[in-house]
Amino acid sequence: TYMDDLACAGTEAALHNCSQSAYENCVSSEAIALSCGTSSVPSFSTSSSSTTVSTGTYEYRLVDGDNATYGRLEVRPSGSDRWGTVCDDAFGTYDAMVACRSLGLGDGTGASYYRAPRGTGPIWMNELHCGPFDANLTQCSFTYNGNRCSDHTEDIGVDCRASA
């Protein structure tokens, strides 16, 4: 925990200018994520076997898993009608955590990743690099696939069951 019981008036230039508790006693239900620079609020839709979230720039979903918190990570850029996959090049624990947050599946604590069954469509993201505090995948750096992942043998899956 970095900050606890923040009280901001709205005129502060940074969060550290807000008053806060001298001691940290947060529990996981008090965790928050901030996304700056956009006025759109993510929209969520879920079913028993998938979760789809839109951030305005990309939509995210998990598919081909045994429940809505586990499966192959797929993305669709706004304006596209094609879902595609994320390549596992450089994919790590922080990326899995942020993917779970992006899907509205908890804070990402305990998230893991795996080589998923092959998907179809474009490989939209490669070499994803997220920080531990990124709220959603649009805040992470990545490359469009190019020629690095030539097929779907490196599609990534995430397991958000521990964080949901």
The closest of 112, 78, 107 to 95, measured between CA atoms, is 112
pTM above 0.85, yes or no: no
Rounded average pLDDT over 117-137 = 89
pLDDT band at 1 (very low <50, low <70, confident <90, very high): very low
The closest of 57, 93, 88, 97 to 75, measured between CA atoms, is 57
- Report the percent of the chain where pLDDT is more than 70: 67
Q: What is the pLDDT of residue 135?
A: 87
Q: What is the pLDDT of residues 40-60, one digit of tens each?
A: 444 444 443 444 454 558 889
> Going from the N-terminus, what domains does the chain have, and what CATH number goes with each?
1-30 (no CATH), 38-159 (3.10.250.10)
Distance CA 24, CA 33 (A): 17
